[in-house]
Amino acid sequence: MSTRVKICGLRSETQLDAALDAGADLVGFVLYGKSPRNVSLDEAAALVHRARARAGVQAVVLTVDPDDTLVDRVVAEVKPDILQLHGHETPERTEAIRRRSGLIILKAVPVADAGDVADAFTYLEPEGGADILLFDAKPPADPAALPGGNGLTFDWHILEEAKAPFALAGGLTPDNVAAAIQLTGAAIVDVSSGVETSPGQKDPELIRRFLRAAKAAKQS
């Protein structure tokens, strides 16, 4: 089975259609005001509704340390298939969000070494809250840095002991995604800045190239 591909940070119908037409398995929408890829709840709801017209595609809403009010509004108004948590949510908070939302939870974890990877699996333990882990590069030390979408890679070899199916993000591009899949065996690859010409501006040709490279890659 080929690796599934998530195109994240989509902001318009044109961008969404480019991802869907290229064969994306998952499409992501960001609810985080500091991100250049941020959309409103109403915009996210309209894009999720449009994505649902394509069979087999899952819609993902990305939030950063959401409070209960935001979780409730995402569930009631946006109705995604998956809720991505990309902040400092603890396993306890992640489990609380999963129970409250009833959604599949994709928990992003920033990693820099094998110890970070091992620690991340706490989220997959009973009451850990996550259904699947997303390994991403640690953001820069700058307090103003975004929690993701920074175009940074990390040493993929640190994932060698990651046994459970996981998602991979962090600096992926059409030129390196095949190598990433071959080395890590990631179940999902997640790209945002790697298919952009500038922050938030998705390029249809880069999206197509990314999908072609990812779908043609052979997992290790």
Contact between 43 and 22 (Cβ < 8 Å): no
Query: Given this model, what pLDDT does residue 111 score?
Result: 94
Average pLDDT value over all residues in the chain: 93
Query: Given this model, what pLDDT does residue 161 score?
Result: 83
Contact between 200 and 165 (Cβ < 8 Å): no
Total domains in the fold of the chain? 1
Q: Examine the pLDDT at 157 and tell me if it is beyond 70.
A: yes
Q: Please state the pTM of the whole predicted model.
A: 0.92
The yes-or-no answer on residue 81 being catalytic is no
Q: Which of 25, 136, 175, 190 does the annotation list as catalytic?
A: 136
User: Rounded to an integer, what distance in angstroms lies between the CA atom of residue 85 and that of residue 70?
Assistant: 12
Rounded to 5 degrees, what are φ and ψ at 30?
Answer: -100, 125
The stretch 61-74 carries a mean pLDDT of 98
Q: Point out which residues pair with 133 in neighbouring strands.
A: 107, 166
CATH number at residue 112: 3.20.20.70
Contact between 129 and 91 (Cβ < 8 Å): yes
The yes-or-no answer on residue 8 being catalytic is yes
pLDDT per residue as tens digits for the range 94-122: 999 999 999 999 999 999 999 999 999 99
Query: Given this model, what pLDDT does residue 220 score?
Result: 55
Query: Given this model, what pLDDT does residue 152 score?
Result: 75
Which residue would you say has higher pLDDT here, 123 or 149?
A: 123
Q: Examine the pLDDT at 76 and tell me if it is beyond 90.
A: yes
Rounded CA Rg of the chain: 16
In which domain, by residue range, is 158 found? 4-216
The stretch 31-50 carries a mean pLDDT of 97
Contact between 22 and 213 (Cβ < 8 Å): no
The stretch 129-151 carries a mean pLDDT of 74
Work out the angle at residue 109's Cα, subtended by the Cα atoms of residues 103 and 112, and round it to the nearest 5 degrees.
Answer: 165
Contact between 91 and 68 (Cβ < 8 Å): no
Output the six-digit token pair for 120: 């991340």
